[in-house]
Amino acid sequence: MELHVIDSNREFSHIALSGKLDVEGADQIETQFQSLTSEAGRSAIVDLEQVTYLASLGIRLLFATAKALAAEGKKMIVVNPKPMVEETLLTSGTVNFIPIARGFEEAVTLLRS
């Protein structure tokens, strides 16, 4: 699992994840992911296009971070998930709390809405 910072400004951190967000993947990125987002009090745009697997621990990481952000009045948006990852977000109900955007522009619009 890799985490790539595309941009980090006053308004949000734009992060791209790649690989499997499984037990090992969630462990690998958790500290950096949270330091860039919830701990910095900065909204998050998370590109999931290269994420091939998302399940229990990945959902927990995204959800816990989004919850911490919400307490600060900030948001998390995920972008371009692959079909199975999207199904997981939809079926689990995660999408009720973390909206899905098609592309970066839509993510920024959702963030500011």
Partner 1 sequence: MNAVTSSHIVRNAGKPMPEHTCGQPEHDEVTDYLLLRTVNSREGLINLMSEAEAFFHERGLDERTIYISNLVLEEVLTNVIKYAYDDEGSHEISVELTLDPRHVQIVFEDDGREFDPLSVPTPALNGPITDCEPGGLGIHLVRKLSSSMDYSRAGGVNRLTIRLARK
Chain positions contacting partner 1, by CB under 8 A: 22-24, 27, 53, 55-57, 59-60, 63-64, 66-67, 70-71, 84, 88, 91-94, 96-97
The answer to whether 15 and 6 have CB atoms below 8 angstroms apart is yes
Q: How far apart are CA 96 and CA 53, in angstroms?
A: 20
Q: What's the min distance (Å) between Cβ of 88 and partner 1?
A: 7
> Which of 31-60 are b and which e, b meaning 16 or more Cβ less than 10 Å from the residue's Cβ?
eebbebbbebebbbbbbbeebeebbebbbe
Q: What's the min distance (Å) between Cβ of 24 and partner 1?
A: 6
* Residue whose CB is less far from partner 1, 14 or 75: 75
* Residue whose CB is less far from partner 1, 66 or 79: 66
User: Where on the phi/psi map is residue 35: left (φ > 0), alpha (ψ -120 to 50), or beta?
Assistant: alpha
* Residue whose CB is less far from partner 1, 4 or 60: 60
* Residue whose CB is less far from partner 1, 80 or 94: 94
Q: How far apart are CA 55 and CA 4, in angstroms?
A: 20
Q: What's the min distance (Å) between Cβ of 85 and partner 1?
A: 9
Q: What's the min distance (Å) between Cβ of 69 and partner 1?
A: 9
